[in-house]
Copies of this chain bind each other. A is one copy, B any other.
Amino acid sequence: MRLSELGEFGLLAELERRGLAGGQDAEGAVLADGVVVTQDTLVEGVHFRREWTSWHDLGYKAAAVNLSDLAALGAEPEALLVALALPADLDVGAIAELYEGLREPDVAIAGGDTTRAGELVLTVTAVGRSERVPGRAGARPGDVLVVTGPLGAAAAGLHVLQEGLEGYDELVERHRRPPLRLEEGRRLGRVAHAVVDLSDGLAGDAARIAARSGCRIVLDPESVPRAPRIEEVADLPFWTHGEDYELLAALAPGDAEALGYTVVGRCEEGAGVEPEGLAGWDALRPR
């Protein structure tokens, strides 16, 4: 079977079934003594286009998606490693700009590997420490689902770029520079039963918690906080599409109330996610 038929998640499940890879129970690898490691690869033409993304923003985004995974692991970031495969005719100034974008306060860029290749492939690895990793497998019936902020700005911002619309800079900015929810992640990490970051879309990310935890997740679309002005851009359910990099967590109702995050659903006995048919990110990916 070809990778194109199986898909990335299918491949991971197949590798796990064969005992060749693990780690799907959390947003990254959880090692001894609370060391956690996350990794994300960005490929030109698949995950970004040079004409829509400056080198600086590309660096920022590559760091941010990893720091978002660290947030979901309840971790404090410690270092980034950068593996860069890139065309030999690239200007060194562009690479320096990319590295500038990768820089975050208190997070060392500790090394990596640079090599020539036909197309640009950027893998950023983040190492952090977590006192308690909530994982994805601990949600239980009776839990509520919360999100740490409004959804939809990233997908709407991409739509603005794709359609060449004007006057939505704050949405485009959100597409280019996702938020860092590290403090929220550490707060949730102490009490939550499951945490994911919203990269693939509300329904898809909720489904990961449901599948790993062995419960059913019932989302209440009406209660999902929407980012301002997304409904002005187009009549599309941007808030379902992902890449917002807010955190989605399952926890006891009392803890949710104490932390003050918006409740968007609940866990029940069963399997799967309700309502069905909430569109995910793939519908809006760069074409």
Contacts and interface: CB of A to CB of B under 8 A. Distances in A.
A45 B85 CA distance: 12
B11 A95 contact: yes
Given A2-B90, A90-B2, A11 B114 contact: yes
A12 interface: yes
Given A4-B88, A99-B20, A31 B117 contact: no
A127 B89 CA distance: 32
Interface in A61-113: 78-79, 81-93, 95-96, 99-100, 102-103, 108-113
Contacts of A96: 14-15, 18, 20
A267 interface: no
Interface stretch (A36-44, A165-173, A219-227, A272-280): A36-44
A116 interface: yes
Interface stretch (A118-126, A144-152, A189-197, A234-242): A118-126
A45 B115 CA distance: 12
A228 interface: no
A127 B3 contact: no
Contact of A23 (B12, B35, B45, B111): B111
Interface residues of A, number: 69
A116 B46 contact: yes
Contacts of A46: 115-117
A283 interface: no
Interface string A6-50: 101001101100101111100011111101011111010111000
Chain multiplicity (copies): 2
B127 A35 contact: yes
A110 B14 contact: no
B83 A83 contact: yes
B39 A113 contact: yes
Nearest to A81: B39
A1 interface: yes
Contacts of A86: 3
B118 A119 contact: yes
A90 B8 contact: no
17 contacts: A2-B88, A2-B92, A3-B87, A8-B116, A12-B114, A20-B96, A20-B103, A31-B78, A35-B127, A37-B37, A37-B81, A37-B111, A39-B83, A40-B113, A113-B123, A119-B119, A123-B123
Given A29-B79, A39-B112, 18 more contacts: A1-B92, A1-B93, A2-B91, A2-B92, A8-B114, A14-B96, A20-B100, A20-B102, A20-B103, A21-B111, A22-B109, A32-B78, A39-B111, A39-B113, A41-B84, A41-B114, A41-B123, A43-B117
